[in-house]
A and B are shown apart, each in its own frame.
Chain A
Amino acid sequence: MNGRAFLAMLARDAHVARRNVVVLLFQTFLQPLLFVFIFGRVMVRSGYMPASYKSLLLPGIMAISMVFTGIWAVAMPLISEFQFTREIEDRLLAPIEIGWVAMEKVLAGTIQALLSGLVVIPAAWLILRPVALDFSRPLLFLAVTVLVALFAAAGGLALGCTVNQTHIGLMFSLVLTPMIFFGCTYYPWSALDSFPILQKAVLINPLVYASEGLRATLVPQFPHLSLIAVLIVLTLFDALMLVLGLRQFRGKAVS
């Protein structure tokens, strides 16, 4: 691997991100903040939801925010760089193995997903005060967030190199929307106890592990899946998405 070329590519992405910072901020934070405001503040203050719901909701919002941002941040530029501007060609010709070109995109997406996840916490805290968050296990919390962010970015790589421009909207509505609603984001997994079949079925949804993992580290007072299981499954999903994404990327990069 050629570290200088890799860093230069990362620098290019950072440069472009800085230039588009306003759009990027809106894209990343608007939806989660609206969610936090409506569900956490409006619904709670008006009495439709108990106050404890605020703390339960926060990890779910964080998971959605990270997964959406990571997938979007990697998939959308890849689609346009392969199909329209063809900008990726200059990187593919850089003196670095092409797998690393894909890895750079994943790293950039992971960082973006991490930022979007971490910003939800202070923002939500401002809107929702008081929320009962537990920061007594920072390393475990970090491990979960990194795994979730990596999943999102690697998933974006796989998606961006598989789906073409005309189908990406469809992909978001047909795959990501159900993923969010069946992803234990607005409710804990244990809330599905009375739907035993559904409760088993949603376990194929990686977002379940993201929400439950964040719940387990941030608000352990609520019921959640075992943290060990979450860490193992997220690691497996990360590996799967990376392998798949790299394969698809090579298929696109070389004809």
Chain B
Amino acid sequence: MDETAQFIDFCINILFPALADGLMITVLLVLITAPFGIAFGVLLAVGRVYGKSYGNWICRLFVGFVKGCPLMLLLFILYFGLPTVPYVGVTFDAFTASIIGFICCNSAYNSEYVRGAIISVKEGQLIAASALGMTKRQAIMYIVLPQALRRAIPGLSNEFIYLIKYSSLAYMITLVELTGAGKIVFTKYFEPGVFFVVGIVYLALVTVTTVGANALEKKYAVPGTQKR
């Protein structure tokens, strides 16, 4: 049997089944995190742009904290650190801790894109909405956000792609996701080809995301407005 055939055999019988489990975890992590990450990202952005006093400060503080903290450290704190805090200590399993950490990170960065997009909506839009008798909340919901979110799609999809990749950090707190699954197989069989295969899987995930995001952007493009 030549080397290629051997490697293919190895992939089919050993690597793929192992990676499949890891891929499942990675996909779950991403698909659970993303909706919350976007929803909270939008809330944080609205809070930062329109929020008054407390709301505004809480949003800024949160984003500042998350941006200032290495994600791996945040995961360590959530997984290893929190259970040791007296009285308030809570214990998360690795999956939950990862999800919480990723939602924090994803929403903080999403909020940057959405905030920029909100600010870029022309002032007249809000003025016209107010003049029609819309409350601030209505004007934000029905006029500003629909425009801002369209503009935020490229940024949000970018963040989604980062999420796919940094979800591998979950392995640092024992969760065997895609990268972790590959690492385990490698350790056992010393087959460096494993990492190329894992890389191709990530590439596929990212490509699907990019295609999806482009389709979304196209679908929601406002006719008559020429982009780029």
Indicate, yes or no, whether A interacts with B.
no
Q: A interface vs B, CB < 8 Å?
A: none
Q: B interface vs A, CB < 8 Å?
A: none
